[in-house]
């Protein structure tokens, strides 16, 4: 409160100050109105520069105190975003494990059926390039129908996605064809025994080409894998070098497929099923001209007639 007081002799005497001790308050930082504000609010007529100004009380004045501020991020109601909170219920974890186990079992069972029928087809129709092309075409057609009928969500992809997918598709195509060539020359069991050495290829390629280091137990765990593949190759009765090299090339190609996929597909918001579908479609486009160049329609027609004469017109058996 700002007031104007007039000093009188009766109010300010020496005896008044001599009998009482006035405590001197510690100086505090007080916010006072500026002259400009006072001029605007009260006018110059109310101020007298010849009369002193006194503070009658500091109770109603705001004291400025510096406080430690905590910075936080907030969002308005219309600009809110979902919170990433993972709350696991007691039975949810068990259900998730069962779901993953069911996926593994389904994949394993379908893989067994695929290998058996693939080997039967190759025994009757020994043209692995066409067989590989048809398997990719069947998978691509199924996904195109699923997208058209809205059974599966259509992926939102752009040109950058296809550019990043191209080296992955090249490696996938080589690995797929090499595995099929291997199965056309040797037993399915032998092909998959050799293909079980893919983890060893993954570690070796990552170590010598990418410079990634692994702990010693990882290298030691590769010894049984390499030893088992070597033992199977030595003791195989119907050993074929083309079949063996096809399985080895397939291992190496799939390792590079995984590396290219890990490096090039970061940040791509595509589901696993749609990603594999796009990979199959691009692999089909890459493989088709090579299959025509290597085998050709004339060879396929002759092989089809031979297969029909041997087993009859049975497409599923």
Q: Which domain holds residue 154?
A: 123-311
> What is the secondary structure of 115-175 as a DSSP string?
HHHHHHHHHHS--HHHHHHHHHHHHHHHHHHHHHTTSSPPP---HHHHHHHHHHHHHHHHH
pLDDT at 111 over 80: yes
| Res. 38 pLDDT band, cuts 50 70 90 | very low
Q: Is 303 within a domain?
A: yes
- Residue with the larger pLDDT of the pair 266 and 48: 266
Residue 317, domain member (yes or no): no
Q: Which two tokens stand for residue 149?
A: 């009928």
Q: What is the model's pLDDT at position 19?
A: 46
Q: Judge whether 86 lies within some domain.
A: no
Percent of the chain topping pLDDT 90: 28
- Write down the pLDDT at residue 112: 86
60-66, long-range: CB < 8 A, 24+ apart: 60/1, 61/30, 61/31, 61/32, 62/31, 63/28, 63/29, 63/30, 63/31, 64/29, 64/31
From the list 312, 297, 290, 301, the residue with the least C-alpha distance to 132 is 290
Q: In this structure, is residue 277 part of a structural domain?
A: yes
- Domain membership flag for residue 243: yes
CA 274 to CA 154: how far, in whole Å? 8
**Which of 82-91, 112-121, 163-172, 261-270 is predicted with the least confidence, judged by mean pLDDT?**
82-91
Condensed to tens digits (0 to 9), the pLDDT of residues 288-314 reads 999 999 999 999 998 888 888 877 766
Q: Using pLDDT thresholds of 50, 70 and 90, give the confidence band for residue 83.
A: low
pLDDT of residue 179: 92
Q: Which of 40-54, 67-81, 90-104, 277-291 has the highest mean pLDDT?
A: 277-291
In this predicted structure, the answer to whether residue 2 has a pLDDT above a threshold of 70 is no
Q: How confident is the model at residue 315 (pLDDT cuts 50, 70, 90)?
A: low
262 by Cβ neighbours in 10 Å (0-12 / 13-18 / 19+) ranks as exposed
pLDDT of res. 266 = 76
Tell me if 47 is assigned to some domain.
no
Q: Does 26 have pLDDT greater than 70?
A: no
Cα 76 to its chain centre, rounded Å, is: 29
> Mean pLDDT over residues 31-42, rounded?
46
pLDDT confidence of 16, banded at 50, 70, 90? Answer: very low
pLDDT, residue 15, reads 45
**262 belongs to a structural domain:** yes
Q: Residue 291 in contact with residue 130, Cβ under 8 Å?
A: yes
| Whether the model pTM is above 0.75 | no
Least confident of 64-73, 175-184, 225-234, 293-302: 64-73
Angle, vertex CA 34, rays to CA 31 and CA 40, nearest 5: 135
Looking at the domain assignment, is residue 80 inside a domain?
no
Mean pLDDT value across residues 145-171: 91
Give mean pLDDT, residues 1-21.
Answer: 43
- Pull the structure tokens for residue 307: 């297969």
Of residues 217 and 28, more confidently modeled: 217
Q: Given a cut of 90, is residue 192 above it in pLDDT?
A: no
Average pLDDT over residues 150-157: 89
pLDDT for position 254? 92
Domain tally, the chain: 1
pLDDT of 70 over the 70 cut: no
Give per-residue pLDDT as tens, 243-274: 999 999 999 999 999 888 888 777 777 888 89
């Amino acid at each position: 409160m700002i007031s104007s007081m007039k000093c009188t002799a009766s109010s300010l005497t020496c005896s008044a100050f001599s009998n009482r001790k006035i405590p001197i308050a510690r100086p505090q930082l007080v916010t006072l109105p500026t002259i400009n504000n006072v001029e605007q609010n009260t006018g110059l007529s109310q101020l007298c520069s010849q009369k002193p100004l006194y503070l009658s009380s500091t109770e109603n004045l705001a004291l400025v105190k510096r406080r430690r501020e905590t910075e936080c991020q907030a969002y308005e109601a219309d600009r809110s975003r979902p919170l990433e909170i993972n709350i696991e219920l007691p039975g949810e974890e068990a259900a998730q494990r069962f779901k993953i186990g069911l996926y593994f079992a389904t994949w394993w069972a379908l893989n067994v059926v695929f290998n058996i029928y693939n080997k039967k087809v190759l025994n009757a129709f020994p043209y692995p390039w066409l067989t590989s092309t048809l398997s990719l075409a069947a998978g691509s057609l199924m996904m195109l129908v699923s997208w058209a009928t809205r059974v599966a969500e259509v992926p939102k992809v752009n040109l950058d996605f296809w550019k990043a997918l191209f080296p992955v598709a090249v490696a996938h195509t080589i690995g797929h064809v090499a595995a099929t060539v291997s199965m056309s020359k040797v037993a399915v069991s032998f092909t998959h025994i050799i293909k079980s050495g893919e983890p060893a290829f993954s570690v070796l390629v990552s170590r010598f080409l990418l410079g990634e280091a692994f702990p010693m137990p990882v290298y030691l765990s590769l010894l049984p894998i390499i030893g088992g593949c070597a033992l199977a190759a030595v003791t195989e009765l119907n050993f074929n070098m083309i079949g063996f090299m096809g399985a080895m090339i397939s291992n190496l190609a799939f390792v590079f497929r995984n590396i290219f996929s890990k490096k090039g597909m970061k940040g791509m918001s595509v589901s696993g099923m749609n990603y594999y579908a796009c990979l199959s479609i691009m692999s089909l486009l890459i493989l088709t001209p090579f299959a025509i160049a290597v085998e050709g329609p004339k060879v396929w027609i002759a092989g089809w007639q031979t297969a029909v004469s041997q087993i009859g017109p049975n497409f599923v058996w």
